[in-house]
Structure 1
Amino acid sequence: MSTPTPAPDWDPRDPAVLQDPLRAYDTLRGRCPVAYSDYLRWSLFRHDDVLRVVLDAEGFGNAVSAHVSIPNGMDPPEHTPWRALIEPYFAPERLAAFAPAAHAVARELAQGLPHGELEFMDGFAHECAVRLLCAFMEWPHAVREPLRQWTRRNQQATLSGDREAMAAVAFEFDGQIRAQLDACRRQPGRDDATSRLLRETIDGRPLRDEEIVSILRNWTVGELSTLAASIGILAWYLATHPAVQEELRAHAELLRPAIDEILRIHPPLLANRRVARHTVRLGERTVAAGERITLMWASANRDEAVFGDPDAFRVDRDPALNLLYGAGLHVCPGAELSRLQLRIVLQELLAATDLIAPVAGRAPVPAHYPASGFSLLPLSLRRPAALDVRQAM
């Protein structure tokens, strides 16, 4: 006998929810922590429930899309060799080798910021994300402009909700990645990440182009959006919390835990999906086998039962509790790359300014669901006089 479809507990696309998702999720976490909607099916809002699902790879599957997604859309045993293939690309020695290039990118952009008001997302965050991505991938400068244009078209398609437009933009991006594969084949001596993937094998055979495209799509599409969103969230938090801003200027060693904590409070990624492999009890609700489950990271990381006041900024929290990069088998393989980039960006941004502040009378515009962060972020920057003197010399 099939399980009857429950009545919806909420609508993720309700204007009241979209206007302030974090507050709406805070309310649902207390009122209906395992909630049903026609759009997302089952959504989990509590930290304990989300953690239970992500740590149980046998009970809850990650293969939730009809499209190939390597490795995050795979389950064991298929997932295991792909994860082993990918992890060395984010090894500590590779990140250490990348750090000087990341500093150079962030420093150039931060020191080029104007004194006064600017729209921070287009004026810094998106450009920084594109340049850092190209630096890590060791892609040529000529790739930057197509990536910038693609990012804008992707944002416009997402805002419109036009599925055909979004599919066309995704197809276009795959074409750009395939162009990089062709360029690498024409230069067999290259040793960048794309070229190395062309030389990899899985189960004794070379990787197929569509498999490499899937890997690079995960490294690039997700990286561009979440990195830019994170940079904007961090800048806005510092602008609205001047004491934290000054503390981080004086104590760079606090940047790593501070960044993780700010992004716990205001996450760059709202949710992720799983599918129930068997009928299971979650909270007070019964979820049937095959049902889709949405893990509400943005709520779990603000759970009062784990963090107390979800808006309280504390750098001494247990990092194992923070689900910013997930947990368990599918924890983000690029987590340390993201942490490195964000620390470097914030370090260079703070060095290039002595004040980051809101613009009076101009509020940020939140990003359109399912994105997080801001689509427009007016900020006022004050540059240190010593920096202007050095640049004039």
Structure 2
Amino acid sequence: MTDARTLGDRSLARCPVSHDSGSWTVWGNEEARRVAEDPATFSSRVSRHLSVPNGMDGDEHRRFRAVIDRHLSDDAIRPLYPEFERIALDVDATMGDSFDANVFGSLVAVRCQSSWLGWDESYEDELLAWISENQAATRSGVYARTAAVAEQFESIVRRIVADTPGAATAALMADTVEEDGAQRPLTPAEIVSILRNWTAGDLGSITYSIGIVAHFLATHHAIAGDLRRSDEEGGTRALDMALDEILRIDDPFLTNRRRTTADVTLAGQDIPADSLVHIHWTAANRDPRAFGDPDAYDPVGNAPRNLVYGAGPHVCPGRTLSTLELRAALVALLRGGDLTLNGVAAREEAPAGGYSSVPVRRVPRRP
């Protein structure tokens, strides 16, 4: 099997848009942005299941996105950072001198999410087990298995909602959405869908992202030293831009689906109406036409074309939340000592991204 990053690089080298097995895949940066920014032609209504707001278009998406944005605004999320940093430092302190960065990442992801949403710590082991099961299901590529894991997570969320939810979850449950010029309460199904979208994808993606960041620190010691100095000087902006660039180079947020509403031509390819289209973000973020050498680290120069958090009306509303969770993990890894690889880091197989394991070891700090 081929890992998603290598698959993306090879496919993009052949063409920015390809057709295979009844669907189309967009590999190029410019082409990915065009699809993401044209919801009228490339609809997000692709799932048979309720997906709020990811699977919505037009005014419906606008109305539900307004709900999401209220809960994920900078004013709501930025005050959480000190607790996220405390969590990451505490987890890091339990890791010892040698550890798997993905294990560290999964603990940070679950504890930060639980802290934000006010979920009881008694769910932690179940959520950690779900991350592993979800990764294995994604790796298998078997739809029935991934569907079963998705249903398992929805069951967990339903139990949490029926339990005694914390402030953030309770606030969502009490919120309303615009409809026919008035406000109505969110339905139980809508609440569960929102919580599932906030957490199910994020837990796995944050885990993979932290593994990628740890691997980068362990293999780019000069840059790690620069980032440590940024942390010591309070340079949070530099740390956040570094995270965006590290994840551009090795993007674990692999794909999103769209369906064409009309015949359209993209990169010289004639795509019929009602065609399934996959945006391959990992490849788009490594497009030499946009970035030159895709492995060259340039946080400032590459920022304008970076699509780690998507583009268009469906651009990730949780960017601030994810960035703060990742910054907390980065800071903990930097303060814990210099990292080096402690064996071979194993790439995940497509359709998953990132690493399945990142064994690292702390070494005496370089002067």
Taking structure 2 as the reference length, the TM-score comes to 0.93
Query: What is the CA distance between 1:241 and its match in structure 2?
Result: 0.8
Question: Hey, what does 1:376 align to over in structure 2?
Answer: 357
Contact 2:138 2:146 in 1 (8 A): yes
| Partner Cα separation in structure 2 for residue 159 and residue 283 of structure 1 | 30
Flag structure 2 segments of 5+ consecutive residues without an equivalent. none
Deviates more, 1:102-111 or 1:314-323: 314-323
Question: Hey, what does 2:8 align to over in structure 1?
Answer: 25
Contact 2:139 2:352 in 1 (8 A): no
| Partner Cα separation in structure 1 for residue 255 and residue 352 of structure 2 | 9
Query: What is the CA distance between 1:318 and its match in structure 2?
Result: 5.0
Summarize deviations over 1:41-80 as a string: whole Å, max 9, x none: 1111111111111111111111111111100110011111
Query: What is the CA distance between 1:368 and its match in structure 2?
Result: 3.1
Instruction: Report the secondary structure of 1:363's partner residue.
Output: coil
Instruction: Report the secondary structure of 2:58's partner residue.
Output: coil
Query: What is the CA distance between 1:154 and its match in structure 2?
Result: 2.1
Summarize deviations over 1:305-358 as a string: whole Å, max 9, x none: 1111111001222523110000110000001111111112101221122x1001
| Partner Cα separation in structure 2 for residue 347 and residue 110 of structure 1 | 10
Q: Of 38, 49, 63, which residue of structure 2 is paired with 1:81?
A: 63
Q: Which amino acid aligns with 2:225?
A: E
Question: Hey, what does 1:127 align to over in structure 2?
Answer: 107
| Partner Cα separation in structure 1 for residue 115 and residue 56 of structure 2 | 28
Higher Cα Rg: structure 1 or 2?
Answer: 1
Pair 1:198 & 2:182 matched: no
Taking structure 1 as the reference length, the TM-score comes to 0.87
Flag structure 1 segments of 5+ consecutive residues without an equivalent. 1-14, 185-189, 385-393
Q: Which amino acid aligns with 1:178?
A: R
Q: Of 59, 64, 69, which residue of structure 1 is paired with 2:41?
A: 59
- Counterparts of 1:169-184 in structure 2 under 5 Å? 169-184=149-164
Instruction: Report the secondary structure of 1:379's partner residue.
Output: strand
Question: Hey, what does 2:187 align to over in structure 1?
Answer: 208
| Partner Cα separation in structure 2 for residue 132 and residue 179 of structure 1 | 19
Summarize deviations over 1:237-295 as a string: whole Å, max 9, x none: 11011111111111222211111111000001121111111001111210000001111
Question: Hey, what does 1:223 align to over in structure 2?
Answer: 202
Question: Hey, what does 1:10 align to over in structure 2?
Answer: none
Contact 1:352 1:383 in 2 (8 A): no
Contact 1:180 1:194 in 2 (8 A): no
- Counterparts of 1:258-273 in structure 2 under 5 Å? 258-273=242-257
Aligned-residue sequence identity (percent) comes to: 36
Query: What is the CA distance between 1:181 and its match in structure 2?
Result: 1.5
Question: Hey, what does 1:284 align to over in structure 2?
Answer: 268
Kindly report the root-mean-square deviation, in angstroms, between the aligned alpha carbons of the 2 structures. Answer: 1.6
Instruction: Report the secondary structure of 1:375's partner residue.
Output: strand
Pair 1:356 & 2:331 matched: no
Question: Hey, what does 2:148 align to over in structure 1?
Answer: 168
Which has the higher relative contact order, 1 or 2, with Cα contacts under 8 A spaced 6 or more apart? Answer: 2
Query: What is the CA distance between 1:215 and its match in structure 2?
Result: 0.4
| Partner Cα separation in structure 1 for residue 278 and residue 138 of structure 2 | 19
Query: What is the CA distance between 1:152 and its match in structure 2?
Result: 2.2
